[in-house]
């Protein structure tokens, strides 16, 4: 409860800076007496002319109290943090998309389904693409690798399937199974008269 010894404090009236001065003077005068007393200053309402409900209060360049939106107090960071003014004094804070490589992201908003990702320094990752049956990334000095299949040669046949490549030649069969990472090599040695040994 307010003490009966609390003196009158002037009201702050709309558009009346003299009332602000009187209020300030009365508060200062009363505060100086509090140091050696048990009195407490009570106030129930304070109206600031021109202010907007549910906003922060700040002083402007003329040292006048004005309403301020939270968006005027904080800023985002380019390519990292987005700040959106919600228009009601609040803000929405979000992560910028895409997350840049320097912050641990890919630098891309979408990635090709089943694609192979290639590093590109500080730039966004490069997507090599989705490989078809039997395709492998083949290196190219100083450039991104390319997806291609193995080329058959004299006496060598290449058979591509989903997840595997089979190489066959006269008397030799070798299969690589991507699912198990096993290489199976069957060797058939023929005698001079073409009979099996």
Alpha-carbon distance of 101 to 12, in angstroms, equals 55
Q: Where are the domains of the chain?
A: 17-49, 149-197
Alpha-carbon distance of 44 to 29, in angstroms, equals 19
Dihedral angle computed from the Cα positions of residues 60, 63, 68 and 70, in that order, rounded to the nearest 10 degrees: 90
pLDDT at 2: 45
pLDDT at 7: 58
Ranges under pLDDT 50 in the chain: 1-4, 188-197
pLDDT at 60: 83
Position of tokens 């040994």?
197
First to last CA, the chain: 112
In order of 7, 91, 135, 136, 165, the CA distances from 181 in angstroms are 90, 53, 16, 14, 12
pLDDT at 68: 85
Ordered DSSP codes for 133-169: TT-EEEEETTEEEEEEPPPP-TTEEEEEETTEEEEEE
Alpha-carbon distance of 140 to 91, in angstroms, equals 49
Alpha-carbon distance of 67 to 87, in angstroms, equals 13
pLDDT at 173: 63
Alpha-carbon distance of 165 to 131, in angstroms, equals 13
């Amino acid at each position: 409860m307010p003490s009966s010894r609390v003196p009158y404090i002037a009201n702050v009236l709309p558009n009346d800076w003299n009332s602000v001065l009187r209020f300030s003077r009365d508060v200062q005068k009363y505060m100086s007496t509090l140091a050696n007393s048990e009195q407490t200053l009570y106030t129930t309402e304070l109206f600031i002319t021109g202010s907007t409900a549910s906003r922060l209060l700040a002083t402007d360049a003329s040292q006048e109290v004005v309403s301020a939106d939270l968006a005027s107090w904080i800023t985002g960071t380019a390519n990292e943090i987005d700040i959106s003014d919600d228009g009601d004094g609040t803000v929405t804070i979000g992560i910028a998309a895409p997350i840049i490589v320097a912050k641990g992201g890919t630098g891309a908003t979408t990635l090709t389904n089943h694609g192979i990702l290639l590093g590109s320094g500080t730039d966004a990752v490069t997507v090599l693409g989705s490989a078809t049956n039997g395709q492998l990334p083949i290196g190219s000095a100083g450039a991104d690798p390319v997806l291609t299949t193995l080329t058959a040669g004299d006496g060598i046949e290449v058979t591509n399937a989903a997840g595997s490549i089979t190489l066959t030649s006269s008397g030799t069969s070798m299969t690589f199974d991507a699912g198990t990472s096993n290489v199976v090599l069957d060797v058939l040695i023929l005698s001079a008269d073409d009979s099996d040994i």
